[in-house]
Amino acid sequence: MIVSASATAYFGSTEDITVRDHEPPVVTSPAATTPNARDTIRWGALPGAVRYALQLATLSLKIPSLIFAAGLTTTSFTPPENLGIGKWRVWVRAYDQFEVPGFWSFPRDFQVVAAPTITAPLTGAITTTPGRPSFTITRKESK
């Protein structure tokens, strides 16, 4: 769009400006289920966006917002610590050079399903003595 302005006793001026409709970003990951408790959240870049804000909430505990990050200058975010096993929802929005926020993205739901790791009994540790073997199950930490 080109805007022109002039007035008596002032120099005329023409400025080319771009008006954006502030469309929302599209969140592309993580997948619907992930074994990674710190999976990277990614979204598509928007033309004219200078930064993004992200909101992440757990659906399992009904907490409105667990993580809010506002000064993101890239199109990805990795949570600062492991997310718990359960259901999560993420939204992203863009800001333009005038700090005008765009619309929030459609929510993307995903579930962290870290599998347990069997750590005992060790191979060859089962004997034929009477009784039942004992097993220890621990949550697998993602890397």
Q: Locate 80 and state its tokens.
A: 């600062």
The rounded distance, in Å, linking the Cα atoms of 120 and 113 is 21
pTM score of the predicted model: 0.67
Q: Kindly tell me if the per-residue pLDDT of 10 is higher than 90.
A: no
Segment 97-124 shows an average pLDDT of: 82
Share above pLDDT 70 across residues of the chain, in percent, rounded to a whole number: 63
Which parts of the chain fold into alpha helices (H)? Answer: none
In the block, which residue shows the tokens 């347990």? 116
The rounded distance, in Å, linking the Cα atoms of 63 and 36 is 21
